[in-house]
Structure 1
Amino acid sequence: MQMGFCLNQMLLLVLLSAAAAKTQPMSKPNCPTKCGNVSIPFPFGLTELCSLNTSFLITCNQTLSPPIPFLNTTQQSLSSPFHFLNASYEKLRVLNISLDGQLHVSLPVATSCVNNKTGESDNQFFTITFDTPFHLSSKQNKLTVLGAGTVGLVSGQDSTSKTPYAPTSCVPLNITNTIYNNTHDDSCSGNFCCETPIQHRLSEFIYICASNIFEENYTKPYQSHPCSYTFLVKEGAYNFSMTDLINFNRTKMFPVVVDWAVGNTCRAAQKNTSSYACKSKYSECHNAKVGPGYHCKCSSGFRGNPYLPHGCQDVDECTEESHDCLKGRSICINSPAGSYSCSCLKGYEGDGKINGSGCVRRSNRKIIIAFSVSGSILALLGGTLYVYCTLKKRKLNRLKEHFFQLNGGQLLQQQIGRYSGSNELTKIFTVEELKDATNNFREEMVLGAGGEGTVYKGILPDNRTVAIKKSRISNPNQIEHFINEVILLCQINHRNVVKLLGCCLETEVPLLVYEFVPNGTVYDHLHDQTKSFRLTWKRRLQIAVETGGALAYLHSATHAPIVHRDVKTSNILLDHNLTAKVSDFGASRIIPLDRSELTTLVMGTLGYLDPQYFHSSQLTEKSDVYSFGVVLVELITGEKALSFDRAEAHRNLGVHFLSSMNEGRLLDIVDGRIIDEANVEQLMVVANIASHCLRMKGEERPTMREVAMELEGINTVEKHQWEKVNLSSEETETLLKAPPSSSFSVDGVNRRTMLAGSDILNRISFSLTSGR
């Protein structure tokens, strides 16, 4: 049964090898592989697309039967004092192409015949020029000359240096002064026939046959046989016979060997992968032994065409019986990596090779020992793994406890004890709970990343969707402040502030758990063309009212004032109803009740950052007011807070806005998407509020409470009294060109602003309270 299995396996290997041989590529896909009986392997081809370049282009004459391939050459003219006949021969018949760097072509015979009457001779020559990668093989070709009173020569130049060679000539002798007798042997040893090696690397060459060039008493034999012959021939392809002097076939073609290569050198070619010709993964590069260029060869254990991407395929040594596996006791197993291995049959052991340890019968004692050793090793590995897992779990628990204490876990527990009766008590999550919620913090759960940490989307066991933020705390001295801030933020209950649900302190950096707000940020909606249409002026005004109210709540309605320190449109989230929610308190600071400012390291976002805070490092509530003013301008203009697309003087949106207000060009910067539906008076009032928020000195800015009241007042007035006011386009433009007001109102609308362009605003029928 075992032998039957082996026979089946060997049969399968034979079939697989045969299938691989059939599909082994030698030419480019969809390219002809043959011309007549001659195979055309790449880099050669019958069209430009099928060849490496035009130098390797083979012409196939389909009119002949069978078709014959030709190698294109170039013919040159020659001047000489002798009378020569230059035969036209621009195409060389290709006999065979080898990927080892050689091809066989046939060359004609140059003939010289003497006229018996006039004594003149018609001498013939051939000039041939190969393209760059081709040259005659000097080792495998000979110059052969037949006749008497004649000379044959070959001359040309080096294919690399283009240096002309001195001609190589061959002159057969007529020792007996007779054409033929039976005493002469049939060897080309110099009598009536001579042969000589040719020069190296001939790519542009000429070979000539010339008669009647010696003294008359030496050249008499031409009267008996007036013709002589010169030809190039592959060594061993021509055997001289004395009868050739009488009935030589002058139209006969002789095979010659042509060397070819690609490129320059392997080292130079490998620097440019696009032009490197050795495309197969299993190929090697070898510099040409004669002349420039290189050849590609399949690696050991592979066979095929190394110039094609999948040209080199594994040689199945097992089916070709080129292996040294011990027959009868081992099986040859081919490896697709270009090698093979020997496997002993059941009951035998060893390497299975003839020149190795072979295959010997395995004793039962060895089997028992092997099982015993294997069992011991498995038991040892199992015990080691158990001890390792136990120690690792203990180490992990100690590390979690270390991080819990380092991140202020004990302090947080004490603070929780003080608020044990509060419904707003923060929850301390375990790291396992948050790993389960975020699928082990998978990358696809990331909602966003910024300077304060990375935010993941998570789903708690009660199916609540939350946002989990990995905070960054680099200073251990901030732990107590961080814990107090967490406790305080968990007690914030405002519809326009993202709710902090809890935290996890068992990791190297604390994890904060917030409510999930699904509809992106105000920044996304303002600057994404596919979303901006949803932000009408009415909605933008509502976002400003909600955001201002949330910041006012943080500044004045909590146990201690909280300065957000990074107010910007990308930190204002929108829910399904486009309700604004202020988020990202990673940079926030609590200002003690007995202080009005706090000296801190400057943090924030350029474009929104309070200039006074930037220069003095003194953080106050008015820093948030400045940032909120930039947000108002962004809602009015639809432009980014910092943009290098604007002129250098106007890259900062706040500066650009104040300049436009002062010059009466507010109309030029209002977002075109809202200009048609916005209430002009509202735009003017909101713009005036923004200009007060953007004042350089913090003490000249209003408080967030005043700003929130002002914005809320606009909403109230709009609902009750402004709905019926309709201004013409000329009145709108006049109002928008009015200069900004220098005073600020906290009861609804600034009187001086609304009186600008009094001829227009007299139509508005409601009373305004005066400002401060």
Structure 2
Amino acid sequence: MHVPVCPFPSTETFYKFYFLSCQMQIIIFRYYLLHDLSDITSFSGNYNLGLILGSVLGGAVFIILVVTFIVCCYKKEHKSCLYFTSRKKSCDRSLTHDFDGSSNYHGVSVFSYVELEEATSNFDSSNELGDGGFGAVYYGKLKDGREVAVKRLYEHNCKRMEQFKNEIDILSRLRHRNLVTLYGCTSKHSRELLLVYEYIPNGTVADHLNGDRAKDGFLPWPIRMNIAVETACALAYLHASDIIHRDVKTSNILLDSNCCVKVADFGLSRLFPNDATHVSTAPQGTAGYVDPEYHECYQLTDKSDVYSFGVVLVELISSMPAVDITRRRHEINLANLAINRIQRCAFDELIDPSLGFKSDAQVMRMTTSVAELAFQCLQLETDLRPKMDEVLETLKHIQGTYTDQIKDEKTNDSIVDNTECSGEKVPTSPTSDKIVLLKKMHLPPSPISVTESWVSSCGSSNVSG
């Protein structure tokens, strides 16, 4: 059994009082040196006795005060030491039996801190690929030649340990071509908690839509359509595995060299019990993507991911960010803006014109159909949203049907009349007949941290994340 030993008060503290004691003695001796000893001997015996007793008692009181102060300091330091030792033990307890210094954990490699420090050139800022709420990501190259992305988790007390273990537990059990591959991690004894992933060279979808890599024409509509299908495929796979991602957004969708999707960042993901209708948990996620019903009622379901994916679909067709404080107040949230435009059939005010919405009838039909699907995903009530596998089938239908017609319709320059909100119908969920009723309702958007307070109106705030 390990018993933490707290040090006695520091040497510096001890010598401070020792020095003060010496100074008092020097003052007393200086008094005698500055006075004639003959005068002292002429004093009466009673006076000499009183002086001696006074000096002794004064010194004793001083020593008692010093000892008392030192004991108090020791108790305070000892209590503090026990507190921080206890916190450290509580943080590490969940991983103590998992990381025992072995070279393998849950099927992934355990790297040393030094190895990853060398791979990233000592975490040089020029190798930083990006950062998020939980850590910064660096490019690195291992000794075996593999290119990697190393996530360096921020110091978030016990939360970072939970997220660290969460990513390992989920990614080590799942294998899918549209999920990022986890190569390994450091042990709990490492100087820092590091996660090692395959390197995805083309950055995030957010970068290409409205970030540093945004370029006209780099993500034409066929690629965006494929991104939607592959992301839905990854999420449907997660839901079939009883896992809710809980942080679906374009900055967590990576693109490889062929622009194929790799969904990343599972720090907030939750395992969903088979027999449960929802999980009661405090709202977590990114502003602009969080399901309003989850935010208000603290009930997480797989439909919460569907809502977030609806925002992603709108980003793909509009090239607008999920939250933009430069827009008008009621349109800061992209979901709110999209619902307004779709209800008014004003697709030309929503869809990015650079995609060819007005010049290409094929693009017009596809983007309009995707917008209608996004509208279903963004419904206030979870029961009115389609399930992710239904979303996937709808997207495949849109992609497949229209792709097959491209050659036949290249000579057809007619423009589809949008008075019915769509030229064709797409497969919908069994509850889609209720969607029309929602066109007259005001749908509250996902909470935006810059404009709204995160207060639940139908649940206790005393819930676990």
What is the alpha-carbon distance in structure 1 between the residues aligned to residue 325 and residue 91 of structure 2?
Answer: 46
What is the alpha-carbon distance in structure 2 between the residues aligned to residue 472 and residue 700 of structure 1?
Answer: 38
Equivalent residue number for residue 519 of structure 1: 202
Check 1:728–1:584 CA distance in 2 against 1; reply closer, same or farther (3 A cut).
Answer: same
Contact 1:407-1:479 at 8 Å conserved across structures: no
Q: How does 1:60-75 map to 2 (within 5 A)?
A: none
Matched, 1:576 2:257: yes
Cα deviation for residue 544 of structure 1 reads 0.4
Secondary structure of the residue aligned to 2:148 is strand
Check 1:534–1:406 CA distance in 2 against 1; reply closer, same or farther (3 A cut).
Answer: same
Matched, 1:486 2:192: no
Check 1:541–1:700 CA distance in 2 against 1; reply closer, same or farther (3 A cut).
Answer: same
Contact 1:525-1:532 at 8 Å conserved across structures: no
Check 1:566–1:738 CA distance in 2 against 1; reply closer, same or farther (3 A cut).
Answer: same
What is the alpha-carbon distance in structure 1 between the residues aligned to residue 385 and residue 331 of structure 2?
Answer: 22
Matched, 1:470 2:152: yes
Cα deviation for residue 683 of structure 1 reads 1.9
Picking from 639, 645, 659, the partner of 2:320 is 639
Q: Deviations over 1:455-506 (max 9, x none)?
A: 1111111110111112247464885785365133123211111111111133
**Aligned residue type for 1:507:** S
**Aligned residue type for 1:575:** D
Equivalent residue number for residue 453 of structure 1: 135
Equivalent residue number for residue 411 of structure 1: 97
Q: How does 1:118-197 map to 2 (within 5 A)?
A: none
Cα deviation for residue 589 of structure 1 reads 1.9
Cα deviation for residue 430 of structure 1 reads 1.5
**Aligned residue type for 2:209:** L
Cα deviation for residue 405 of structure 1 reads 8.7
Matched, 1:565 2:251: no
**Aligned residue type for 2:338:** F
What is the alpha-carbon distance in structure 2 between the residues aligned to residue 511 and residue 443 of structure 1?
Answer: 16
Contact 2:306-2:387 at 8 Å conserved across structures: yes
Equivalent residue number for residue 532 of structure 1: 216
Equivalent residue number for residue 438 of structure 2: none
Contact 2:113-2:192 at 8 Å conserved across structures: no
**Aligned residue type for 1:444:** S
Equivalent residue number for residue 681 of structure 1: 365
Check 1:477–1:655 CA distance in 2 against 1; reply closer, same or farther (3 A cut).
Answer: closer
Check 1:635–1:688 CA distance in 2 against 1; reply closer, same or farther (3 A cut).
Answer: same
Equivalent residue number for residue 311 of structure 2: 630
Cα deviation for residue 510 of structure 1 reads 2.0
Secondary structure of the residue aligned to 1:533 is coil
**Aligned residue type for 1:483:** K
Matched, 1:437 2:113: no
Check 1:725–1:746 CA distance in 2 against 1; reply closer, same or farther (3 A cut).
Answer: same
What is the alpha-carbon distance in structure 2 between the residues aligned to residue 603 and residue 489 of structure 1?
Answer: 20
Q: Deviations over 1:103-149 (max 9, x none)?
A: xxxxxxxxxxxxxxxxxxxxxxxxxxxxxxxxxxxxxxxxxxxxxxx
What is the alpha-carbon distance in structure 2 between the residues aligned to residue 638 and residue 481 of structure 1?
Answer: 30
What is the alpha-carbon distance in structure 2 between the residues aligned to residue 546 and residue 407 of structure 1?
Answer: 38
How many residues get paired? 342
Secondary structure of the residue aligned to 2:207 is helix
Picking from 576, 582, 600, the partner of 2:281 is 600
Equivalent residue number for residue 33 of structure 2: none
Equivalent residue number for residue 552 of structure 1: 236
What is the alpha-carbon distance in structure 1 between the residues aligned to residue 280 and residue 118 of structure 2?
Answer: 40
Secondary structure of the residue aligned to 2:396 is helix
What is the alpha-carbon distance in structure 1 between the residues aligned to residue 434 and residue 370 of structure 2?
Answer: 14
Secondary structure of the residue aligned to 1:470 is strand
Check 1:585–1:656 CA distance in 2 against 1; reply closer, same or farther (3 A cut).
Answer: same
Contact 2:369-2:426 at 8 Å conserved across structures: no
Cα deviation for residue 548 of structure 1 reads 0.7
Gaps in structure 1 of 5+ consecutive residues: 1-398, 754-772
Contact 1:485-1:590 at 8 Å conserved across structures: no
Secondary structure of the residue aligned to 1:412 is coil
Percent of counterpart pairs with the same letter?
38
What is the alpha-carbon distance in structure 1 between the residues aligned to residue 239 and residue 285 of structure 2?
Answer: 18
Gaps in structure 2 of 5+ consecutive residues: 1-84, 436-465
Matched, 1:656 2:346: no
Equivalent residue number for residue 15 of structure 2: none
What is the alpha-carbon distance in structure 1 between the residues aligned to residue 410 and residue 228 of structure 2?
Answer: 23
Cα deviation for residue 522 of structure 1 reads 1.0
Check 1:644–1:711 CA distance in 2 against 1; reply closer, same or farther (3 A cut).
Answer: same
Picking from 383, 392, 398, the partner of 1:714 is 398
Bigger mean CA offset, 694-703 vs 643-652: 643-652
Check 1:725–1:604 CA distance in 2 against 1; reply closer, same or farther (3 A cut).
Answer: same
Check 1:670–1:571 CA distance in 2 against 1; reply closer, same or farther (3 A cut).
Answer: same
Greater strand percent: which structure? 1
Cα deviation for residue 622 of structure 1 reads 0.9
Q: How does 1:299-448 map to 2 (within 5 A)?
A: 406=92, 408-413=94-99, 425-448=107-130
Matched, 1:620 2:301: yes
Picking from 375, 380, 397, the partner of 1:691 is 375
Picking from 653, 669, 672, the partner of 2:350 is 669
Matched, 1:705 2:389: yes
Instruction: Please tell me the root mean square deviation across aligned C-alpha atoms, in Å.
Output: 3.4
**Aligned residue type for 1:455:** V
Q: With structure 1 as the length reference, what TM-score do the two structures score?
A: 0.41
Q: Deviations over 1:299-330 (max 9, x none)?
A: xxxxxxxxxxxxxxxxxxxxxxxxxxxxxxxx
Check 1:703–1:530 CA distance in 2 against 1; reply closer, same or farther (3 A cut).
Answer: closer
Secondary structure of the residue aligned to 1:428 is strand
What is the alpha-carbon distance in structure 1 between the residues aligned to residue 272 and residue 155 of structure 2?
Answer: 19
What is the alpha-carbon distance in structure 2 between the residues aligned to residue 705 and residue 435 of structure 1?
Answer: 41
Check 1:722–1:584 CA distance in 2 against 1; reply closer, same or farther (3 A cut).
Answer: same
**Aligned residue type for 2:272:** I
Equivalent residue number for residue 415 of structure 2: 731
Q: Deviations over 1:389-447 (max 9, x none)?
A: xxxxxxxxxx9xx8999274443259x99x99xxx811111212211211222222221
Equivalent residue number for residue 497 of structure 1: 179
What is the alpha-carbon distance in structure 2 between the residues aligned to residue 441 and residue 482 of structure 1?
Answer: 19
Higher Cα radius of gyration: 1
Contact 2:205-2:250 at 8 Å conserved across structures: yes
What is the alpha-carbon distance in structure 1 between the residues aligned to residue 205 and residue 118 of structure 2?
Answer: 30
Check 1:506–1:459 CA distance in 2 against 1; reply closer, same or farther (3 A cut).
Answer: farther
Segments of 4+ moved more than 6 angstroms: 402-405, 727-730, 750-753
Secondary structure of the residue aligned to 1:493 is coil
Contact 2:123-2:138 at 8 Å conserved across structures: yes
Equivalent residue number for residue 510 of structure 1: 193
**Aligned residue type for 1:645:** T
Secondary structure of the residue aligned to 1:724 is helix
What is the alpha-carbon distance in structure 2 between the residues aligned to residue 705 and residue 494 of structure 1?
Answer: 15
Check 1:663–1:696 CA distance in 2 against 1; reply closer, same or farther (3 A cut).
Answer: same
What is the alpha-carbon distance in structure 1 between the residues aligned to residue 219 and residue 153 of structure 2?
Answer: 31
Q: Larger RCO: Structure 1 or Structure 2 (Cα < 8 Å, ≥ 6 residues apart)?
A: 2
Matched, 1:609 2:293: no
What is the alpha-carbon distance in structure 1 between the residues aligned to residue 273 and residue 97 of structure 2?
Answer: 19
What is the alpha-carbon distance in structure 1 between the residues aligned to residue 171 and residue 428 of structure 2?
Answer: 28
**Aligned residue type for 1:570:** S
Check 1:411–1:592 CA distance in 2 against 1; reply closer, same or farther (3 A cut).
Answer: farther
**Aligned residue type for 2:298:** S
Secondary structure of the residue aligned to 1:670 is coil
Cα deviation for residue 715 of structure 1 reads 2.2
Equivalent residue number for residue 28 of structure 2: none
